[in-house]
Amino acid sequence: MKWPTWSAGLPARIVIAIAVEIAYAVITRAWLPHHVHGAPLEIWVSVLRLTTAGIYWLLFRELILGRRARNHALRHPLVYAGTAAVLAIPFLFRGWDPGGGLGTAIVFALTSIAVGLREELLYRAVVINFLQPRVGAGAAIVLSTIVFLIYHYGALPLKLLPAIEVICMSLLLGLVYVYSGSLLFVVALHSLYDGIWFFGPYIPAPLPNIWRVAFLVSGLVLIFVWARTTPDFSLRGRQL
């Protein structure tokens, strides 16, 4: 099979990207926390998030731009229902408290934009677009989710619920990206989901965390049903 033009020099670019990602993880999880804390730490990490996102854009721009956007596909009741199901979670369950009051929460919420941009650019627009022509859409989504879960190891507690949350959200975002082609939408959804958490809980008695799984799975199922309604749905499809 003849690969697209972006495959030229690809092995070297992949090695560079892996080295950048390892360096990012070491600096942000091992070195920086020993020097700064709280909101300043989050700001410095976000600078590195945007820097690495820029590097990935320069390395894989043709690959990222190779997917045709079909934004009209997002104007579907199942997309609205699926995104509503997952975005309801930060409102109904106990949020993440970064400490430091409202000002710190606002800083963390704003830096969620950098989180969403960086992670969706790499784990959806680069990893899925690289894998889909080789293994098909379904396998690309699953493999990108495995890599995404490994990336979060160490950043989140090693417990079942966070793992389920990462897996469900990654599969959901992967489906939306593959069958709408909209990087902007998945970046916005990811950023909103992360950012809203820092202001919770929004109700006097947050729901027990076990119910988060029901919301996550419901959102994922709704998005999967929507994906099946798209004209080019195929988990084995290799075209971007």
pLDDT tens digits, 205-231: 788 888 999 999 999 999 999 999 999
Handedness of CA 59, 63, 64, 65 (dihedral sign): positive
One-letter amino acid identity for 126? V
Query: What whole-number distance in Å separates Cα of residue 216 and Cα of residue 157?
Result: 18
Please tell me which residue, 103 or 33, carries the higher pLDDT value.
33
Q: With H, G, I as helix, E, B as strand and everything else as coil, classify residue 117.
A: helix
Kindly report, residue by residue over 70-120, the tens digit of the pLDDT: 999 999 999 999 999 999 998 888 777 777 778 888 899 999 999 999 999
Closest CA to 28 of 6, 51, 7, 3: 51
Per-residue confidence (pLDDT) for residue 2, from 0 to 100: 41
Query: What whole-number distance in Å separates Cα of residue 16 and Cα of residue 98?
Result: 33
Kindly report, residue by residue over 166-205, the tens digit of the pLDDT: 999 999 999 999 999 999 999 999 999 999 988 766 667 7
Q: What is the pTM of this model?
A: 0.93
One-letter amino acid identity for 157? P
For residue 50, what are the CA distances in angstroms to 17, 46, 56, 94? Answer: 14, 6, 10, 28
Per-residue confidence (pLDDT) for residue 198, from 0 to 100: 85
Kindly report, residue by residue over 55-72, the tens digit of the pLDDT: 999 999 999 999 989 999
